[in-house]
Structure 1
Amino acid sequence: KIATNMSARPLHIVTPCKHSRPISKTSGFEVWMKLENCQPSGSFKTRGIGHMCLKNKDSPRFVCSSGGNAGLAAAYAGKQLGVPVTIFVPLTTTNLVIEKLKDEGADVVRGGAAWDECNQNALKFVEESGSVYIPPFEHPLIWEGNSSVIAELDSRPDLVICSVGGGGLMCGVVEGLKKRNWDNVPVLAVETHGANSLYQAVQAGKQVTLPAITSIAITLGAKTIGKQAFELTKTHPIIPCLVSDEDVVKTISSFLDDEKILVEPACAASIAVLYNGKLKQLVASNPLLANVKKVVLIVCGGSGVTIDMLNGWKEKFNV
């Protein structure tokens, strides 16, 4: 347990923001990578979830519903703060992630076919047990914690690129930009086909619930985009963008070659736009992106990936 005089310190670390020569050369933009894969839990989730857990450090128990990374962040935070943790995971969660959750001391419950059902079971458990609910993305404390990723940047970018699942990272990015008076910096919000609840919501002009998650990027698997994330598309220059699972697999492999970092599909989605030429197309066609030169890419991380999994995906998509 963290000592009393240490308890107010953030549970996340200040991550490197590293210039990528290979990706800059490939994409034609000046690309800086914010390496959130370096966080203690393996992803950016340590920021927002760690912040919320710290604010509730006297709780009897933390309960989180998660496909992996949010749960790992909550489990890490609970272990650091000496608070028991129960994580409800969807049936799609890999044994790799479940074992990591258990290694952090968390109790793991398989709670539904997809995150949405899993979340309902977590909320019922919270109501019955008097525990504190730690949502994976939809809470002001989560966004406040995630906003620290922008607070650490040395200078103003022309564009921030991030992956979107439930929208907690994007909400934090936008909040961070506003705090620094960078309100006009656009955000490229990237999803995969088959896990594109933000894209479909923007097209429909309202929140949309997907019938199922059909992408390999299962940690982007919120069937309905968070309310705050959707509302922000009306007030901030946010450009939703889609990439294919095939491009994601190619990107994981290329990024591993170029930067010696293995990322999961949900993270690779945002990186893919720099490898597949999508950003160049958008810059040429979208006035909001006309002056983009310096790009901050949030490498959001994620622990649900192995070389064997990558090889399986490469075989599946013949890449």
Structure 2
Amino acid sequence: MHSLAYADVKTATDRIRGHVRPVTVTPADPGARPYALHFALELMQHTGSFKARGAQNFLLAHREEGTLPEAGVTIASGGNAGLACAWAALRHGVPATVFLPTTAPRVKVEKLVGYGADVRLVGSEYAEALAACEAFAADTGALASHAYDHPLIAAGAGTLLDEIHERIPDLDTVVVSVGGGGLFTGVATAARHHGIRTVAVEPENCRALDAAIEAGHPVDVTVDSVAADSLGARRVSAASLEAARQDDVRTLLVTDAEILRARRALWTDRRLAVEHAAATALAALTAPDHGDPTAPGYRPAPGERICVVLCGANTDPTDLVGAPEPEPASV
């Protein structure tokens, strides 16, 4: 996959309508800051993340073409893409075999089993699970999906931006977290069509996109972050690198401390239990600058209209409930 066009997103929007939940968009305390902030609550999506969009687009497209094999579908995932694939496969009556690293959160493994998936735990990183998945597809004839690097998956993710734009027609900026780049690629492609800026946010120790921009091509990176279960791709897609090179895209890094702070603030202020990947996007706005205009983070202009995508909620909330209150943060 090397590029994505808005026509692909529009086709996906029409294809998956009625198969996924329309996103809820809510304002964040109007008048509490010099810019207008909204949250896209995609954590309320089927399977608990935006990944349901790409999974449905992928399977529906193959069903339309008559290319869904009896062996079903297989995917490697840190968890969320596997959940979405298994859920969509169940809806379409085909088997799903999901490969996860052994580090995958237990909550995600249990949900996969609940969707009837054949779960295979392989290796300690996503890349090892992917290699096992590819071998399985070659041996069995199962249809190989991908967690992020496939045009149907990225186009499905991009449908989220079309829905956000419907609800906020005068939106200036959308903020998304980045792992392998499927969500970012789809959202940035649709955002460009609507004249909206995209801010792509990565943990500083899961910086596959940042490293690709620096090198001029996708490269392998070390994965070591609290958000690695969702954003732990070792290498970003070529399509996301192409999307990041557009003038209407800004990329930045945030620390794990800022991610933890944003996640805690969402729970404390709004009782939203999000996974660390969702908090990564918000951390771009809540990271303290201590009056330093060059400090990391995104500093909105007065009156700017911004939407932060809270992309998923497949998390163990026990570290939120009953834990000490965080340093104050305005979310």
Question: Which residue number corresponds to residue 190 of structure 2?
Answer: 176
Q: Does 1:251 align with 2:262?
A: yes
Question: Which residue number corresponds to residue 264 of structure 1?
Answer: 275
Instruction: Give the deviation of 1:239 after TM superposition.
Output: 1.3
| CA shift in 2, pair 1:313/1:49, >3 Å | farther
Q: Is the 8 A contact 2:16 2:56 kept in 1?
A: no
One-letter code of the match for 2:194? W
Q: Is the 8 A contact 2:16 2:57 kept in 1?
A: no
One-letter code of the match for 1:248? I
**Which of residues 89, 109, 119 is equivalent to 1:98?**
109
Report 1:25-174 matches (<5 A): 25=32, 28-57=34-63, 58-60=68-70, 61-152=72-163, 153=165, 154=167, 155-174=169-188
Question: Which residue number corresponds to residue 286 of structure 2?
Answer: 275
Q: CA RMSD in A?
A: 2.9
1:263-316 deviation line (CA, Å, top 9, x unaligned): 1111100011222246x977999999757610011110131x22224479989x
Taking structure 1 as the reference length, the TM-score comes to 0.86
Aligned-partner SS, 2:26: strand
Aligned-partner SS, 1:21: coil
Please give the alpha-carbon distance, in whole angstroms, between the structure 1 residues aligned to 2:317 and 2:181: 27
Q: Is the 8 A contact 1:166 1:220 kept in 2?
A: yes
Question: Which residue number corresponds to residue 328 of structure 2?
Answer: none
- Which region of structure 1 is more displaced relative to structure 2, 79-88 or 291-300? 291-300
Question: Which residue number corresponds to residue 13 of structure 1?
Answer: 21
Aligned-partner SS, 2:47: coil
Aligned-partner SS, 2:97: strand
Alignment gaps of 5+ in structure 1: 1-6
Q: Is the 8 A contact 2:285 2:298 kept in 1?
A: no
Taking structure 2 as the reference length, the TM-score comes to 0.83
Please give the alpha-carbon distance, in whole angstroms, between the structure 2 residues aligned to 1:220 and 1:313: 24
Q: Is the 8 A contact 1:158 1:291 kept in 2?
A: no
Instruction: Give the deviation of 1:87 after TM superposition.
Output: 0.4
1:8-53 deviation line (CA, Å, top 9, x unaligned): 754311011111118x73x642111111011111000011122112
Please give the alpha-carbon distance, in whole angstroms, between the structure 1 residues aligned to 2:171 and 2:294: 15
- Which region of structure 1 is more displaced relative to structure 2, 145-154 or 133-142? 145-154
Number of residue-to-residue matches in the alignment = 303
After the TM superposition, which parts of structure 1 deviate over 4 Å for at least 4 consecutive aligned residues? Answer: 7-10, 280-292, 310-315
| CA shift in 2, pair 1:312/1:200, >3 Å | farther
Q: Is the 8 A contact 2:252 2:297 kept in 1?
A: no
Please give the alpha-carbon distance, in whole angstroms, between the structure 1 residues aligned to 2:139 and 2:155: 28
Please give the alpha-carbon distance, in whole angstroms, between the structure 2 residues aligned to 1:69 and 1:204: 28
Alignment gaps of 5+ in structure 2: 1-14, 326-331
Please give the alpha-carbon distance, in whole angstroms, between the structure 2 residues aligned to 1:310 and 1:288: 27
1:58-94 deviation line (CA, Å, top 9, x unaligned): 4321101101110110111011111110100012102
One-letter code of the match for 1:18? T
